Amino acid sequence: MDEILKYFPEITETQRERFARMGPLYKEWNEKINVISRRDIDSIYPHHILHSLAIAKFLTPVSGTRFLDLGTGGGFPGIPLAVIFPDCTFHLIDRIGKKVGVARSVAEALGLENITFQHGDVGECHEKFDYVVSRAVMTLDGLVRLARRNISPRGINALPNGLLCLKGGELGDEIRAARRPVVEVPLSDWFSEPYFATKQLIYTKLC
* pLDDT at residue number 142: 85
Lowest mean pLDDT among 65-69, 79-83, 171-175: 171-175
* Predicted confidence (pLDDT) at residue 207 exceeds the cutoff of 90: no
pLDDT at residue 169, rounded to an integer: 79
Query: Which positions ≥6 away from 116 have C-beta within 8 Å?
Result: 89, 90, 91, 92
One-letter amino acid of 48: H
Residue-wise pLDDT for 10-58, tens only, equals: 999 999 999 999 999 999 988 888 888 878 888 999 999 999 999 999 9
Q: Give me the helix-helix angle, 13-30 and 97-110, nearest 10°.
A: 140
Q: In this predicted model, what pLDDT tens digit does every residue of 77-131 receive, in sequence order? A: 999 999 999 999 999 999 999 999 999 999 999 999 999 999 998 889 999 999 9
Q: Where are the alpha helices (DSSP H) in 8-160?
A: 13-30, 44, 51-52, 54-58, 78-84, 97-110, 140-147
| pLDDT for residue 178 | 75
Cβ-count burial 182-196 (b if 16+ within 10 Å, e if not): beebebeebbebebb
User: Residue 18 and residue 42: Cα distance in Å, rounded?
Assistant: 18
